Structure 1
Amino acid sequence: MKKIRVLIVDDSVLVRQMLEEMLSADPEIEVVGSAFDPFDAREKIKALHPDVLTLDVEMPKMDGVTFLKNLMRLHPMPVVMVSTLTEKGADVTFEAMDLGAVDFVTKPKINLVNTFEAYTQEICSKIKVAALVKKPMLERQYSRYIANLNAPPKVAKARSPLSKSAGTASAGQSSSPSKHSNKIIALGASTGGTEAIKEVLMRLPASTPPIVITQHIPATFSLPFAKRMNTVSEMTVYHAKDGQPILSGHVYIAPGDKHLMVVKEGGGYVCRLNDGPPVNRHKPAVDVMFRSVTQNVGSNAICVLLTGMGADGAAGMKEMQGVKAATIAQDENSSVVWGMPGEAVKLGAADYVLSLDKIPKKILELV
C-alpha cells in the first residue's frame, strides 16, 4: 500500500524531530522531509511532492498563514496546522482553516511522556484524514474565502438591536419573545466544522431560533471560536455557561472540555454543562447534546450534522428523527470529511441531505 508522504514545516529543530518520530511510527505514513521556514518549504514541495504538509503557525521570515495563502492560490494541497495553545494561536489557526487548512493539532510539549501515545494517535489520524481531501475541495474553500472577503454573504434580515457581548454571557442577556421561541436548532460538527459552522451562521438572521452547537475542539480554542463566530453572525454567539437561559436570536457553543446539554427548566430551556467521560471518544460529544435535545425538545427541534470525521452524532440524529424532529445532513461533495453526516445518511437518519450553501435556507424554511 502506498504510504502518505508528509513534509514537516516548523522553525523548531526539536519540534521537527518530535513530529518526525511520531509520524514515522505509523506504517502508513512516510516523512519525506522537513523544512525550517516557508522558503525552504517551497523548494522542498517542488522537489519531494508530499501528499500532506504539517505547517507551523508562527515562523520567521513569513508566518504560516501568509505562506498558506500563497500555497492555496498557487498549489492547493492538504495542510494540518500546528498551533500554540494561546488565544492568538487560536485566532491564527481559525484564519488558516478559513483559507483551506484541513485540520490542526496543538504544538507538542517537550514533556510529552504521559501523553506521547495519545498525541501520536491524534496527529497520525489527522494526517490520514487530510490525505483523503481532494484538490477541488481545497480550491472551493479558498474561492469561498476570497468571495467572503470581497462580498460578505447577506442574511435575510438586518441586525436586530441585540447586545453583542463577545463570546461570553452577560448578566443582562435578554431577547424579545419570538414566534419561534419553542424551536431549538441543534448543530454538530468536527473536521472542517469551524468553517462550515461559520458559513451557516453568516447566513442566518438575528430572528432565528436559538442554536446550540457542539464542535470537536480543544478547550483552549472554544472561547476564541465563539468570539470569532460572534463577529460574523447576526445572532449573538456565546461560549455556553452552565444554567444559561437559551433564548431566540442567540447561539451557544459547547466549551471544548464539557458536554453541552439542553434541559427544560421553569417554562424555558437552559444550557447544562456535563463533565462526564468522553462519548465516542469525544468531549464535548454531539450525541450527548442531540440526545438531551431529543428528550427535552422533541419534535420542536431541528437537527443539523455537518462535516466531520467518525460517527459522533449519527445515532443521536436517528433518535431525534424518531421523535419527529427535522434532520439535515451535509452532503458528501461539500463536506471536508463525510464521516459523521455520511454515517447519519447510512442510518437513514437524515430527512434532507444538502450542500453546505443550501443548509441555512432549509433551516429558515423549517422554523
Structure 2
Amino acid sequence: MAEANKIRVLVVDDSILFREVLARGISTDSNIQVVAKASDPFDARDKILAFKPDIMTCDVEMPKMNGIEFIRRLLPQYQLPVIVVSTVSEAVFDAMNVGAVDFVTKPNFQLVSSVEGFINELIVKIKIAAAAKVKLPQVMVKDNAVNNQILSKKSKIVAIGASTGGTEAIYNLLRRFPSAFPGVVIVQHIPAVFSNMFAQRLNSSTALNVKEAQTGDYLEQGKVLIAPGEKHMKIKKVGGRYRVECFQGDKVNGHCPSVDVLFESVAMECGRDAVGIILTGMGYDGARGLLSMRRKGANTIGQDEKSSVVYGMPKAAYNIGAVEKQASLDSIPDILFSILR
C-alpha cells in the first residue's frame, strides 16, 4: 500500500520498551504506518501538530497528565480517534466517557502468545477506528426517565446488541430507563475481564439492577443482564418467565458473545413480546437475528448513521430489512416508551 494511503498512527506511552513493542508490532501490517511516538501528553500534543496522525493509541497512566484528562482536553481541539491501551481497570470506561473510540488491555510480556494476541487485536481496532466518528462528551441533561406507571406492556423484553462505541451508547439508553422497565438482555462485544466491570458500572449509574449474566438468571422487571465476555447468551422461556443460558462456543460472525445468537433465541422464544435494538459497531453481527425477530412480530430499532460511532452493524441490519424504525441514539428511548405504553 502506498504510504499516502496508510493509516497514520501516533503511539503514546511513558514506557520506551512498550512504545517500541507496540510500534513495531502494528507496523507489521501493510495498512498501518507509525508516524511518531510520544512519552507523555505534552510530547503527544506536539507530535499531533507535527505529524497529523489519523489515529492515536494512548496509555491511561502517564506522567505529567493522565490519559483520561489528556483525551478530555484534546478532543474538542483535535477530533482524533483514540484507542486507549491500559491495564485491567475501570479507567477504560472513564476514557470512553470522555470520547475515546475503543480500548485494549496491555499484554503479559512474559507470554509471547499474549503479546501476539494483543498486537493482532490492536491492528483490528486501529482499522475500525480509522472509519469511526469521534463523539465528544455532551453535557448531561436531567434524565427524562418515563414514569413507571405508564409502561403497561411490562411483559415484553428488550434485547440490545452493540460493538465499537457501544459501552457509552448502552449507558446513554439505560440511564433514561425507569426502575420498573421491562427486563433487558444485552450483548456488547467486550473482553471477558471487562464485562462484569461494565455491568457493575451500569448498576451504580442507572436506576436498574444490572449484572453480568449467569446461566439460571431470570429476566425480571427492572433487571438488565449483560452477556459475559467470551460466552454466548441465549434466553429460554420457562413457564411464563425467561431464563438465560450462558455457554462457551465458537465465534459467530467473528464474535463471542454474538448478538445473532441472542437475537435468534429471542425471536424463537418471545416472538412479538420483544423489542430488538441494534446499536453502533463494525461488521454485521446481529443483522440476521434482528430480521428473525422482526419476522416473528417483534418491534425492531436501529441506530442511525449520524449518531453511531461506527455505522456497520446498524447499516447491515437496515439493508436487509431487519430495522422497523431507524433513529438517533437520543430518540430511541422515546420510541421504546411509545411501544411499551
- Cα distance in 2 between the residues matched to 1:10 and 1:112: 20
Partner of 1:271: helix, strand, or coil? strand
C-alpha contact (below 8 Å) 2:106/2:118 kept by paired residues? no
> What pairs with 1:8-23 in structure 2 (closer than 5 Å)?
8-23=11-26
Q: CA RMSD in A?
A: 1.6
Equivalent in the alignment of 1:113? 112
C-alpha contact (below 8 Å) 1:208/1:364 kept by paired residues? no
**Which range moved further: 183-192 or 201-210?**
201-210
Unaligned runs of at least 5 residues, structure 1 = 161-177
1:40 aligns with 2:49: no
> What pairs with 1:308-327 in structure 2 (closer than 5 Å)?
308-327=281-300
Equivalent in the alignment of 1:296? 269
Equivalent in the alignment of 1:226? 199
- Cα distance in 2 between the residues matched to 1:351 and 1:142: 28
Letter in 2 for 1:75: Y
> What pairs with 1:118-129 in structure 2 (closer than 5 Å)?
118-129=117-128
- Cα distance in 2 between the residues matched to 1:43 and 1:206: 47
> What pairs with 1:151-170 in structure 2 (closer than 5 Å)?
151-157=141-147
> For residues 144-176 of structure 1, what are the alpha-carbon distances to aligned partners after superposition, in whole Å with 9 as ceiling and x for unaligned?
1xx12xx34221237x9xxxxxxxxxxxxxxxx
Note the C-alpha offset of 1:356. Answer: 0.5
C-alpha contact (below 8 Å) 1:184/1:211 kept by paired residues? yes
Note the C-alpha offset of 1:112. Answer: 4.3
Count of equivalent residues = 336
> For residues 179-224 of structure 1, what are the alpha-carbon distances to aligned partners after superposition, in whole Å with 9 as ceiling and x for unaligned?
5342110000000000000111111112211110000001111111
1:252 aligns with 2:225: yes
- Cα distance in 2 between the residues matched to 1:312 and 1:252: 19
- Cα distance in 2 between the residues matched to 1:233 and 1:121: 35
> What pairs with 1:281-360 in structure 2 (closer than 5 Å)?
281-360=254-333
Equivalent in the alignment of 1:365? 338
1:59 aligns with 2:62: yes
Partner of 2:76: helix, strand, or coil? helix
C-alpha contact (below 8 Å) 2:154/2:181 kept by paired residues? no
C-alpha contact (below 8 Å) 1:181/1:247 kept by paired residues? no
Equivalent in the alignment of 2:164? 191
Note the C-alpha offset of 1:122. Answer: 1.8
Equivalent in the alignment of 2:71? 68
C-alpha contact (below 8 Å) 1:237/1:253 kept by paired residues? yes
Percent of aligned pairs sharing the same letter: 46
Partner of 1:247: helix, strand, or coil? coil
**Which range moved further: 188-197 or 107-116?**
107-116
- Cα distance in 2 between the residues matched to 1:360 and 1:181: 15
Runs of 4+ aligned structure 1 residues displaced above 4 Å come to: none
1:200 aligns with 2:199: no
Letter in 2 for 1:113: V
Letter in 1 for 2:217: Q
Match of 1:29 among 8, 11, 32: 32
Unaligned runs of at least 5 residues, structure 2 = none
Partner of 2:9: helix, strand, or coil? strand
C-alpha contact (below 8 Å) 2:99/2:137 kept by paired residues? no
**Which range moved further: 108-117 or 35-44?**
108-117
